[in-house]
Amino acid sequence: MDTSIPSLLLVLWLKSFLNWLVVVIQRHYMIRTFSGFFCISLALIDSLLSFVLTAIFYLEDVSISGWHFTRYYICLLTQIACFIYAMLHWPVFLLVGLDHFWTLSSSSRHTSWTQKLTYIAGVCLLWILAALYVFRVDDVALLFGDDEKHQCKLFSSPQSSQILVALLLTVTFVMLYSYTPFEKWRVQVFLHSTQQCCLFCLRRVMHTFLSTWASFLVLMIIAPLLMIEMHAQLQLNVVWLSFLNSFSVALTLCLRSFATNFQKTDTITDGFCSWFVLHMELTSVIMDNKLTALKLKH
């Protein structure tokens, strides 16, 4: 897609503002998970990139330590950023899911300084590996725009669409299963003693997730239908990462609720969905289910 440089800079500054707005509002949750630390790093990198590109645009021709920068570098740096951002959707989504699963499996109730340092190191390593992959492994083909019209040729990332499709299929399957009327099919999958607990968990988790993110999910579905194009740098933003974080919590909480050693914890950290209240409800249902099973045995 062809994007004019002035409109590109405006959109990048608006994205940076939105990133920092979400980070500041959710600051108490951002410093407790891998997803939060990655959101902070993304906001910092976006702000730095916006400042550098704006400076190059207004100075037009500047030399710094022997490096000669012109407006051509605006498109060059933006395209390199697009290549790096395009590679990060799946790795971040998988690492966020592993982090939540580990957090719910742990008995610790607070994020220690060791965990925070591990998150910072992991985020830095992820950015470095993505950059190395783009420059050393991936075949980077830069697209030259129209320098006279001050336009850049940018591209979108297929990973965001892949994750969205996988998310929609998962939500659809869970909703269909949890509300299916075929009791015999349910018994074949789960034991009767845990069947009602599992179904309650599926329904409550999906209800909590959809009640919070339904409007954003509809927007993500309608955008491709309306032929709204976003380049890779815009697709990776803090709101999108918060959406994926909530979905990861939903899946992890549901899976952990089925475990026999499931215990109450307050380490679920998501400032958008009320997971802690749901977690307390699921814990109560699971304990009641276990007591009922023990009574039936005796």
Return the amino acid letter for 38.
F
How far is the C-alpha of 32 from the C-alpha of 268, rounded, in Å?
A: 9
The alpha carbon of residue 12 and the mean position of all alpha carbons in its chain are separated, in whole angstroms, by 19
Q: Residues with Cβ < 8 Å from 265, sequence gap 6 or more?
A: 104, 106, 107, 109, 279
Q: Residue 4's beta-bridge partner residues?
A: 151
Mean pLDDT across the chain, nearest whole number? Answer: 80
Contact indicator for 205, 250 with CB cutoff of 8 Å: yes
CA-nearest of 237, 212, 251, 173 to 35 is: 237
pLDDT at 94: 95
H or E stretch at 4: strand 2-4
How far is the C-alpha of 173 from the C-alpha of 298, rounded, in Å?
A: 37
pLDDT at 265: 47
pLDDT at 177: 78
Q: Residue 133's beta-bridge partner residues?
A: none
Q: How confident is the model at residue 284 (pLDDT cuts 50, 70, 90)?
A: low
Instruction: Note the pTM of the prediction, 2 decimals.
Output: 0.85
